[in-house]
A and B are shown apart, each in its own frame.
Chain A
Amino acid sequence: MNEMKPTSLTIYDLDALQNQYIMESYWSGALVINLALIEEFDSAGLQWLTLVKKNQQARGHSLTLSDVGDDLKNAMALLGMHSLLGVAHVN
């Protein structure tokens, strides 16, 4: 199982994240993205996570998000992406 551990999820990180995903993880099946180190994020970053999730699902593979902090969970809920990403939202 492949794992990615980004430190930031903003529009400025998308190129690098997309490259890493396509080069290392796209063909590997199940993927874990560990979000423990995330310090910055924005809507574009969360959209990218959701697109990866949809792509993994379409190919019959899983995407598991681990160590999702409360701030990130709240942001996912605000953008209505928590259920798409399989993350329970706080409060």
Chain B
Amino acid sequence: MSIDPVIIFKEEAYEHLENLENALLVLEESPRDAEQIAAAFRAMHTIKGSAGMVGFDHLSYFTHHIESFFERVRSGELMLNDEHIRATLLAKDHIELLLEKTPPSKESMAVSETLIQQFRRWADLPTEGSPAKSTAATSANTETEQRILKITIKPSKECFKDGFDLLPVMRELSALGSCHSSAHFNKTLTFDSADDYRDIDIFDCHFFLTVLLATEASQSSIDDVFLFVADDWSISTEELDPDEAYRLGDLLLAEGAINQQQLDSILQQQPKLGEVLSGSGAAAQEDVEQALEQQKFLRSQQETQQSRSVPSIKVPQPKLDALMDKVGELVTLQSFLEQKARELNDEGLNTIAETLMQLSSDLRETVFDIRMLPIGTLFGRFRRVVRDLSHELGKNIQFVTEGAETELDKVMLDKLGDPLIHLLRNSLDHGIEKPEQRAANGKPEQATITLSAAHNQGQILIKVKDDGAGINTQKVRQKAIEKGLISATDELTENQIHQLIFEAGFSTADKVSDVSGRGVGMDVVRTSIDSLQGKVHIKSDAGLGTEIQILLPMTLAIIDGLLVNVAGESFVIPLNIVNECIETYASEKCVERDTTLVKHRGALVPCVSLRKMFSLAGTAPAIEQSVIVKVGEETGAITVDEVVGQFQTVIKSLGQLYRGVSGVMGATVLGDGSIAMVLDVSELLESIQS
């Protein structure tokens, strides 16, 4: 399958634009962040170069000017401000239009020119024609490799008295990359008596700094930081080898905290070095702690560099889907073979079946891993939405994201974007109050929306939480009565009323806005989450805020399951929610308020009998098996005739006819060619509660 280079270019350009947007949103808060400035520059630089190669000449011309502007920001000649960031965000949106239509319309080119003039003015570039620097020169100047430097800064003893402060210098230095500082106080300072302390001249500088700086900045940029102090302070720079394993002893030796003899003598004792060095008094506890922090910083930088340098290739998604399907077929075939080997009782065949099972299991894990993407790739998009909408609505909102590294199947990730955007818009529009209203209610004017993702008992838990006004229960109830969703006499708990907002066509917005409030959306959110085999719950406290929880399976395609039998029928329970299996005697069951309960570890657990649930024929054996499951906070039991064992389950969707069947999420083909239903356990547990 050969792919059109224009398609590849566009895909990559969108990725660069996403990086640009993320960088800009960080720069809005920290305009001197060198890493983000470099990321913005790189995005423009790459799009410019590739656009020219695939014939998007106008796009190349347009991005060239923004690249030139960021080149000046990068070199420290320009300081980013809010106006620059706003314009660059507009430029990013404009590039998206240019990507979709080439050659661009006259109107589009006019927009380009307006933006270009603005960037030229800021960058103080020649008004027409050639750029200030040639592309080749720019590339040579900017494609610097990241280095890790160790900079030792020894201020003069009198520096404070002379009016010098280390903080502005350190702020400037830290803007050049990621940095970690350690302060080392003079060993001559003693605190043995009150006189010792009184004798310390607190106006003298008593420490020096070692700074580990991971940076792409040139040596001259670093030298510039120390321009005004270089004559009086001692500054030395050493480049560290990023591949070297920095051992604690070496770091302490380099700091002068210990000498080689002490280190050698202690190394001979085969120790946990840090403890022995501080315990023996050879190095002070604080020196060891600082060296450990340096070691941690160096390792994190090494990991970052390694992850940057891992080569990757782009693969079209249909190829991955096809691979996944093939793995699914392999897993099914492997279970056929396993079944056959059991029937024939052939030892050799059994061994082959086992080996194949291990292989297909490993292959499945690998393919899954390829399809998994961090959810943070979605979070970046949302940051811009929240920023733009909060400006539009005149609300002051801090957007916090947590767990961006949590991985989810790419297919699910794609389907999750729209419902999450709707939840965020809803929170911004309806949940968060105007700043003045918040102040009047004694809340901070700045509201917080938190979007978090985390693993939760083999599933993914996503939360959208705000500290806004919460859901007005009375209003929701009233609206539900008006729309005929409930009757005026229905008695509902507060939680049940909250769930009504997921009903089709429900909206409490007094007026229709562009943001939300058209009565479509929350029901679509639930439908989308349902289609991902997920669950959505809402918790709200009036005046305090709302939290929407989405619980999703990690993947939809193949799962590890527990195969069980009831009345000769097979069922699969997802293994990730199974806690244990216990034997249950009929005499141990009891019924309370129509709910059957079984004893489990001294407590009574509600239980679902699959025989009853699916109206299966025959009588239950005297000793049944109860599979104890836990979904979220809910624990329950599923009673079956027999537990067969673990089974790699390729989930196939059910046809139209079975789609509405409660308690079933799909079906799978077993080794003998028969079909087993895959249970939707959370729906089964809900059926007990209702």
Contact = CB atoms under 8 A, between A and B. Distances in A.
A87 B202 CA distance: 22
Contact of B167 (A14, A50, A75): A75
B200 interface: yes
A36 B421 CA distance: 37
Contact of A59 (B160, B183, B191, B202): B191
Interface in A37-58: 42-44, 47-48, 50-51, 54-55, 57-58
B203 A11 contact: yes
B185 A50 contact: yes
Contact of A51 (B167, B194, B200, B293): B200
A54 to B, nearest CB: 6
B183 A50 contact: yes
Contact of A55 (B160, B183, B197, B206): B197
Contact of B170 (A14, A57, A78): A78
20 contacts: A42-B167, A43-B167, A43-B205, A44-B202, A47-B202, A51-B197, A51-B206, A55-B191, A55-B197, A58-B192, A75-B167, A78-B167, A78-B170, A79-B170, A79-B181, A79-B183, A79-B209, A80-B209, A83-B293, A84-B290
Given A48-B202, A58-B191, 12 more contacts: A11-B160, A22-B197, A44-B205, A47-B206, A50-B183, A57-B191, A78-B167, A78-B179, A80-B290, A83-B289, A84-B183, A84-B286
Contact-residue bracket for chain B: 20 to 34
Contacts of A47: 160, 202, 205-207
Identify which of B160, B202, B209 gathers the most chain A CB atoms within 10 Å of its CB.
B202
Contacts of A84: 183, 185, 286, 290
A19 to B, nearest CB: 11
A42 B167 CA distance: 7
A24 to B, nearest CB: 14
Interface residues of A, number: 25
Identify which of A26, A43, A58, A77 gathers the most chain B CB atoms within 10 Å of its CB.
A43
Interface of B: 160, 165-167, 170-171, 174, 179-183, 185, 189, 191-192, 194, 197-198, 200, 202-203, 205-207, 209-211, 286, 289-290, 293
Contacts of A44: 160, 165, 202-203, 205
A62 interface: no
Nearest to B293: A83
B252 to A, nearest CB: 15
Contacts of A78: 167, 170-171, 174, 179, 181
Identify which of A14, A22, A78 gathers the most chain B CB atoms within 10 Å of its CB.
A78
B563 to A, nearest CB: 49
Interface string A1-38: 00000000001001000100010001000000000000
A68 interface: no
A86 B281 CA distance: 21
A81 interface: yes
A83 B290 contact: yes
Given A42-B167, A43-B166, A80 B183 contact: yes
Contacts of B181: 77-80
Contacts of A83: 182, 286, 289-290, 293
A81 B200 CA distance: 18
Contacts of B182: 80, 83
Identify which of B166, B171, B179 gathers the most chain A CB atoms within 10 Å of its CB.
B166
Contacts of A26: 194, 197
Nearest to B171: A78
Contacts of B160: 11, 42-44, 47
Nearest to B184: A80
A22 B209 contact: no
B206 to A, nearest CB: 7
A73 to B, nearest CB: 13
Nearest to B191: A58
Contacts of A55: 191, 197
Given A43-B160, A48-B202, A55-B191, A81 B165 contact: no
A54 B194 CA distance: 13
Contacts of B198: 22
Contacts of A43: 160, 165-167, 205
B293 to A, nearest CB: 6
Contacts of A51: 189, 197, 200, 202, 206
B470 to A, nearest CB: 28
Contacts of A75: 167
